[in-house]
Amino acid sequence: MVSSQPLEFGHDDRRRIYEYVERHGAVDPDDARSELRIDPSGFRHHVAILKRDGRLEAVDGTLRVVLDAGTEEEYVADDLEFHVRPARQEDLSGIVGAIRQVAEEKTYIEAESVADEIDHEEALLRHNELESRMFFVATVDQDVVGWVHLHAPELEKLSHTAELTVGVLEEYRGHGLGSHLLSRGLEWAGSRGYERVYQSVPSSNDDAVAFLEAHDWEIEAIREDHYKLNGHYVDEVMLAIEL
């Protein structure tokens, strides 16, 4: 079960290092040490402990927060080869671009707000005492062409729930990328102890509603006239799935 309890570090400087890395996504160790004003030997010691405890890892000379999310998977469908893997900080611009391209269709308002948030924060993955945020991506020739995003508040009364968005660029639809992304996202959510996952889309997005219902999601509620798209009021369809 995902814990809503405070993260334990055993030392204030250790907490400060973790929070700095978590907030920035990927950081140069020297920049972090200088910014936090921790002496070099103490900084190296605390980073070593954070690595030992599975909190941080070093990737290409930078420190990152560890979010255990499995490995990369390869698929071939209709002569299209694509990969599904956990997102990395370097995928941020590709994910924002993919979400914004899908959002231009005016059928995925929640996803558009996700793009705005991560673009503003400049940190892709988050895990702190307030929230967890995870992305998986589908890539073709190493370019991001689809995503699945999960966000969960670290609050005791909501710690069993998560919200999800998923999307694929139009030219790559019909090859199973969305199904694989959705499956990977829900698999991760289940492994983290979440019990219910939610998603909301405009009622005008018939394809999204049909896609989710075909994957055993159920409509739980409809908020009338919740969106205003191109001058017209559109209902919000709220769907959920139990894990």
Rg (Cα) of the chain, in Å, rounded? 19
pLDDT tens string, the chain, 243 residues long: the values are: 344 445 788 899 999 999 999 999 899 999 999 999 999 999 999 999 999 999 999 999 999 998 878 889 999 998 899 999 999 999 999 999 999 998 877 667 778 888 888 988 888 988 887 788 999 999 999 999 999 999 987 655 556 889 999 999 999 999 999 999 999 999 999 988 899 999 998 998 888 999 999 999 999 999 999 988 888 899 999 999 999
Task: Tell me the torsion sign for CA atoms 14, 17, 23, 28.
Answer: negative
Please provide the size of the chain in residues.
243
Q: Which residue intervals of the chain are DSSP H helices?
A: 12-24, 29-36, 40-52, 92-103, 109-121, 177-191, 206-214
CA-CA-CA-CA torsion for 167, 190, 240, 87, nearest 10 degrees?
-20
The pair of structure tokens assigned to 113 is: 């707000």
